[in-house]
Chains A and B, each alone.
Chain A
Amino acid sequence: MTKTVLAREDRIRIGIISFAHMHAASYAYALSQIPDAELAGIYDNDKERGLAAAAMHHTDYYHSLTDLLDTDIHGIIVCSPNANHRDECIRSAQAGKHVLCEKPLATTSEDATAMLDVCKNEGVILATAFPVRHAPPVTRAKEVIDSGAIGQVMAVNATNHGRMPGGWFIDRELSGGGAVLDHTVHVADLLRWFLRDEVKTVYAEVDTRMHDIDIDDCGTLLMEFHSGVFATLDPSWSRPKAYPTWGDVTMEIVGTKGVISLDVFAQALLEANDSDQRVLYRNWGDNMDLLLVKDFIQAIREGKEPKASGLDGLKALEVALAAYESAASGMPVRLSCPSCSTAQL
């Protein structure tokens, strides 16, 4: 399949595969906000959901993935359940479409590696949806680290809490894992990016204690990097429905000359409203999903690497999988690293 030739004045046309993941709506909105991009079509194996999304976002619904991939779109955003990423990503790449894939990139490192290989062979971009990298408080934290203002980073204490999402997220066949897979990849990615280093060992306590479900909902990881920097992460789905927000991404980044306390979603108003008997934080910071999609569009237009690549997605996935392995064995796990070349960080 030949790639659609891109003229300077062309808008970048993007298709979305599946609205199973709630981020799909946010990416569709993002596309509507980017002047030189458009949402050109939706395929969803749940027809009703796909039709509703197409109506909501003023675009076409395609009854088969083949039909969507046969159009002249330039790129695909994959938002299906994790276990479907491999097949849909590979089919998109083989149709010559650039791919932005929701995280985790896949449910096994074999699947993720296969995705990387095909995208490379087809000469298309594979980007992993790590929106948090794009959040301005996070990019600022990276700048401060790189400036040397806190000396050398020694350790990081991180959280990525959330609510229990339910649905396919708690169906192992589709999700590949619970809270630990869902949330470890975000922070593992940020840490690799901040530290320009790979995780060497992972220790993890993983359990199901918060909800009546058949998949992990809480845990804590302790990772060690090759440089000796160590980091912990609490990826638990531990936020009650009554909590004022869905969750958080926080980091205490401890250096030899200072500390950065990062609370990515702290740019928020506190609203208490009798009309819905709720107290909630309303975020007024930049829309990181929009920044992520902009980066993908720019990567397509300029033929450059996206900020977070498929390899970044694979590396983060390996950390999460090692956490499960550690929890099962009760021992720290050394990452067997088939793709040991350090990603472009």
Chain B
Amino acid sequence: MHTVAVWGAGSMGRTHANCYKQCDEARVKYVIDRDTERARNIAALCGATPQVHPDAALKDPEVDIVDVCLPTYLHRECAEKAAYAGKHVFCEKPIALSCDDATAIIEACKSNNVKFGIGHVLRYFPEYEMAHDMITSGRLGKIGVIRMSRTGPFPRGWENWYSDSNRSGSLLLDLSIHDFDFLAWCFGDVERVFARSTQRDRPLEYALAVIRMKSGVIAHVEGSWAHPAQFSYKFEVCGNLGMIEFDSRKAQPLTVLAESMQASKPGVAIPESPLKDKHPYLRQLREFLAFVDGKITPRVTPEDAVKALQISLAAVKSVKTGEVVPV
């Protein structure tokens, strides 16, 4: 039985707390957030104690896992604190805003002999998992072009941190990193990146990236925080033997229309996936628990987290310089 402190009571904190609630092998003992009310709300969901400061949780010997669900710019500081307190660390993606910070987190976990997990949850979405398997098994043949897309409204987080690129790293680092990680998972290393993004004089951002993998595959990644209302994600993979395509807007087994429904609520748009055994967030955390138990090797390694970050940083650099950036 694992005892978890969820650090950060935003939408990801809520999602993770809900998942632990469904795990027999773990329970959430603390929910930590500077905002008392938010901490209290999520703590109430899973029978935990709300905390404004992390100290009690970090000092509690019963806690063996700290789940960092904070804005990206706080990851290093908080993950290091947890590691130095001897807690295993699960960290939301992106791992950090810079490779230095990412490496520091990984080193802190190594030197304190605790395990580190990273929330590249896309690898647990069954549609992406199936696509990955079809690509790597050779069923589609030699891949020519892959198109990835992730679009939604501008996320509203705590203190509007998403709109501050010094704290979120911008769209290409925060959102498109999911798709960059998927590309690396399927095809390995990236050769070069060319990207463009809109000027951000308002809470609105849209980016397009053209990527050449070392294997020769041509990839296109669309990321948007400029799509009103609806969050959706798509991909298309074309090989010389066959192709696959997916559009979340066309994969909705359930639609509810009710008079009582209001316009969509603010917050991070989390794709809704009506799944049971295959629920991606639940499986991600279950695998991390099994990894902590030494039962499995993790699907996503700390090095994978750094690789995905490097692609994001190359894309951001291409936007800044206007040049083609080798990775």
Does chain A have a CB within 8 A of B196? yes
Does chain B have a CB within 8 A of A210? yes
Q: How far is the CB of B325 from chain A (nearest CB, A)?
A: 12
Contact A238 B194 (CB under 8 A): no
Contact B324 A331 (CB under 8 A): yes
Contact A332 B242 (CB under 8 A): no
Interface residues of B in 165-195 (CB under 8 A from A): 192, 194-195
Query: Of A209, A232, A238, A259, which contacts B216 at CB under 8 A?
Result: A209
Task: Identify the interface centre among B196, B198, B242: most chain A CB within 10 Å of its CB.
Answer: B196
Q: How far is the CB of B8 from chain A (nearest CB, A)?
A: 30
Q: A155-B206, A220-B145, A236-B145 are in contact. Are A210 and B198 (CB under 8 A)?
A: no
Does chain B have a CB within 8 A of A269? no
Q: A154-B198, A230-B196, A254-B226 are in contact. Are A238 and B218 (CB under 8 A)?
A: no
Q: Quick one: closest B residue to A206, CB to CB?
A: B218
Q: Quick one: closest B residue to A217, CB to CB?
A: B144
CA gap between A242 and B322 in the complex, in Å: 39
Query: Of B143, B149, B228, B240, which contacts A157 at CB under 8 A?
Result: B149
CA gap between A211 and B240 in the complex, in Å: 6
CA gap between A232 and B224 in the complex, in Å: 14
Q: Quick one: closest A residue to B147, CB to CB?
A: A234
Chain B residues in 8 Å Cβ range of A228: 199
Q: B208-238 CB contact bits vs A (8 Å, 1 = yes)? A: 1010100011111010101110000000001
Q: A259-B226, A330-B324 are in contact. Are A234 and B196 (CB under 8 A)?
A: no
Q: How far is the CB of A181 from chain B (nearest CB, A)?
A: 17
Does chain B have a CB within 8 A of A256? yes
Contact B208 A234 (CB under 8 A): no
- Grouping DSSP codes into helix (H, G, I), strand (E, B) and loop, the A interface class, with mixed when no group exceeds half, is strand
Contact A239 B243 (CB under 8 A): yes
Interface residues of B in 251-310 (CB under 8 A from A): none
Contact B144 A203 (CB under 8 A): no
Q: A222-B196, A240-B242 are in contact. Are A203 and B216 (CB under 8 A)?
A: no
Chain A residues in 8 Å Cβ range of B147: 159, 234
Does chain A have a CB within 8 A of B204? yes
CA gap between A231 and B206 in the complex, in Å: 11
Contact B144 A218 (CB under 8 A): yes
CA gap between A254 and B212 in the complex, in Å: 24
CA gap between A217 and B222 in the complex, in Å: 22
Query: Of B143, B145, B242, which contacts A234 at CB under 8 A?
Result: B145
Does chain B have a CB within 8 A of A205? yes
Number of interface residues of A (CB under 8 A): 38
Q: How far is the CB of B235 from chain A (nearest CB, A)?
A: 12
Task: Identify the interface centre among B208, B217, B323: most chain A CB within 10 Å of its CB.
Answer: B208
Q: A157-B222, A220-B145, A259-B228 are in contact. Are A205 and B210 (CB under 8 A)?
A: yes
Chain B residues in 8 Å Cβ range of A256: 202, 204, 226
CA gap between A213 and B206 in the complex, in Å: 36
CA gap between A209 and B144 in the complex, in Å: 5
CA gap between A238 and B323 in the complex, in Å: 28
Chain B residues in 8 Å Cβ range of A88: none
Chain B residues in 8 Å Cβ range of A209: 142-145, 216-218, 240
Does chain B have a CB within 8 A of A207? yes
Q: Quick one: closest B residue to A157, CB to CB?
A: B222
Contact B194 A154 (CB under 8 A): no
Contact A230 B212 (CB under 8 A): no
CA gap between A302 and B204 in the complex, in Å: 46
Chain A residues in 8 Å Cβ range of B143: 209
CA gap between A252 and B220 in the complex, in Å: 14
Does chain B have a CB within 8 A of A123? no
Query: Of B192, B216, B322, B324, which contacts A207 at CB under 8 A?
Result: B216
Does chain A have a CB within 8 A of B239? yes
Q: How far is the CB of B132 from chain A (nearest CB, A)?
A: 19
Contact A254 B144 (CB under 8 A): no
Q: How far is the CB of A62 from chain B (nearest CB, A)?
A: 42
Chain A residues in 8 Å Cβ range of B192: 330
Does chain B have a CB within 8 A of A224? yes
CA gap between A220 and B196 in the complex, in Å: 14
Query: Of A207, A232, A258, A259, which contacts B144 at CB under 8 A?
Result: A207
Interface residues of A in 191-232 (CB under 8 A from B): 203-205, 207, 209-211, 217-222, 224, 228, 230-232
Contact B240 A220 (CB under 8 A): no
Contact B198 A155 (CB under 8 A): yes
Contact B208 A222 (CB under 8 A): yes
Residues of A within 8 A of B (CB): 154-155, 157, 159, 203-205, 207, 209-211, 217-222, 224, 228, 230-232, 234, 236, 238-240, 242-243, 252, 254-256, 258-259, 330-332
Cβ contacts A to B, 26 pairs, < 8 Å: A154-B206, A157-B208, A203-B194, A207-B144, A207-B216, A209-B143, A209-B216, A209-B217, A209-B218, A210-B239, A210-B240, A218-B144, A220-B145, A232-B208, A236-B144, A236-B238, A238-B243, A240-B241, A254-B224, A255-B226, A256-B202, A256-B226, A258-B228, A259-B224, A332-B323, A332-B324
Residues of B within 8 A of A (CB): 142-145, 147, 149, 151, 192, 194-196, 198-199, 202, 204, 206, 208, 210, 212, 216-220, 222, 224, 226-228, 238-243, 322-324
The 5 tightest CB contacts between A and B, nearest first, are: A238-B238, A209-B144, A230-B196, A218-B144, A210-B144
